[in-house]
Chains A and B, each alone.
Chain A
Amino acid sequence: AQSVTQLGSHVSVSEGALVLLRCNYSSSVPPYLFWYVQYPNQGLQLLLKYTSAATLVKGINGFEAEFKKSETSFHLTKPSAHMSDAAEYFCAVSSKTSYDKVIFGPGTSLSVIP
């Protein structure tokens, strides 16, 4: 069975500081991995996804994530936090099996301090 853990339900960073949101997954088959963002009072939107091409994936709004198979990790980073980055971030996993489901992690709430 697939699962996702996100270390830290809440992360605070100062404006301009590095953002690091952690995600570890469990999957018995090669995974697809996703990061979604949810701004207040909105639905989720895709930040980036890994589908077995390059291990370093670039997404929207300056975010990127690196797939590390040996560590079963897919951490999300951004070099310099902006106030507009304050949101809930969800890591998700699925597999290449047809009709497989997307499994979401519990989410990490990011606060950006001026």
Chain B
Amino acid sequence: DVKVTQSSRYLVKRTGEKVFLECVQDMDHENMFWYRQDPGLGLRLIYFSYDVKMKEKGDIPEGYSVSREKKERFSLILESASTNQTSMYLCASSSSPGFGTGELFFGEGSRLTVL
């Protein structure tokens, strides 16, 4: 059974803290993604990666960075958390040669609250 695992389901952090969200997939997928989900806005792409050590900005990269040191692991980093980053964060992976052609496999999400 395919699996995308996000390390933390729920996190509470304070403004200014550094936050790491970890995602691991066991499907040997080339492509990995971080989305942010907010009510009424759907999913918005933060960053994506199509290979180890490669990263591309999505639609809302400001305030975020990512790291992909191994094929199976894709980390989202909030250098200095702010209250407007309170949200649900979803990690996904896919194996298609072009991102748009294949199925995305999602983790269960990490709900971050910044106080």
Contact = CB atoms under 8 A, between A and B. Distances in A.
A45 interface: yes
Nearest to A31: B100
B100 A94 contact: yes
Nearest to B4: A43
B84 interface: no
Interface in B70-85: none
Given A43-B4, A43-B90, A102-B45, 17 more contacts: A32-B100, A32-B101, A42-B108, A42-B109, A43-B106, A43-B109, A44-B104, A45-B106, A90-B42, A96-B100, A98-B99, A99-B99, A100-B99, A101-B59, A101-B100, A102-B104, A106-B41
29 contacts: A36-B104, A41-B108, A42-B108, A43-B4, A43-B90, A43-B107, A43-B108, A43-B109, A44-B92, A44-B106, A46-B103, A46-B104, A90-B42, A90-B43, A94-B99, A96-B98, A96-B101, A97-B100, A100-B98, A100-B99, A101-B58, A101-B59, A101-B100, A102-B45, A104-B42, A104-B44, A105-B42, A107-B40, A107-B42
Interface of B: 4, 35, 40-45, 48, 50, 58-59, 90, 92, 97-101, 103-104, 106-109
